[in-house]
Amino acid sequence: MNKRTFFFAVVLILAAFGGIKAAAQNDPQRTFGRANDQLQKGNINQALDLYHQLESQNQVSGALFLNMGLTYLRVDSMGQAKYYFMKAEKFKETRSRAQKGLQYVENKFSHQSAVLPKLPWQQALNWLAGHLGVTILLGIGLLIFNFGIFLYIIPWLSGRSHKLLPPTALTMMVIGVLVVALSFYINYREHRYHKAVMITQQAKVREKPGTSADLVSNAYDGYVFTVDRNKSKKHAGWSYVRMSNGEYGWIQSKEIKIL
């Protein structure tokens, strides 16, 4: 083997070793373990940096969000803790512990927001979105509609007159159309409106987007909002929100985190 061939062989080996080392460093599970080690050692900022690194790479899990909530508890950032516990609550494996964390956080807030009870139709829509989802609901609607069509053409196929089939078929088709329309409405609602959590100590909700606009209400750490993303897009740096007490207004986007 001549010197030139030997040199290129060494370069290739080093490049391969470097790639393996980089892959090991970027392995999500390894990063998560390093973050947990930093947390156990009391290095809160280093742990949070590693957790946020995983979050920015979309390497998310219930365990990641739960640990981030617990970490923010240790620095008394209750709004951030609430936000990540609410994220962890969406995962079955961490739901129970996240709910306990949320209960603890709620008891720590010095300010509690007034909460209007949800209307029955809002509860129904939330249940459908959470338990069935848009895709399943759309499939059910199409199935009912097609079954109605099948009932409608049975007399033509059989050559016999059935008095009950036509009205039953029309009823099924109407129900199918309504269920399909409902699935589209829920999809529209989920894309336009999002929950958000206040992550700073205090902020002002104003009538218009601007620091000089009239005050609607003061908001505090941990308050939950419903953000209208369509209206918010028209004003950079501001979010149009509905507060839990039913009031509407504008808040600076940096004050909240959207779930």
Tell me what the pLDDT averaged over the chain comes to.
87
Q: What span, in angstroms and rounded, lies between the C-alpha atoms of 133 and 186?
A: 9
Domain ranges of the chain: 3-108, 120-192, 194-258
For residue 186, pLDDT over 90 is answered with yes
Average confidence (pLDDT) over 66-92: 94
pLDDT in tens, 84-132: 999 999 999 999 999 999 999 999 887 887 787 888 888 899 889 988 9
The CATH superfamily of 194-258 is SH3 Domains (2.30.30.40)
222's torsion region: left (phi>0), alpha (psi -120 to 50) or beta? left
Residue reference for tokens 């918010």 = 232
Kindly indicate the confidence band of residue 6, based on its pLDDT and cuts at 50, 70 and 90.
Answer: very low
pLDDT in tens, 22-66: 444 458 999 999 999 999 999 999 999 999 999 999 999 999 999
Using a 10 angstrom Cβ sphere, with 0-12 exposed, 13-18 middle and 19 or more buried, the burial of residue 172 is buried
pLDDT at site 119? 81
Q: Which fold does the domain 3-108 belong to in CATH?
A: 1.25.40
CB 63 within 8 A of CB 35: no
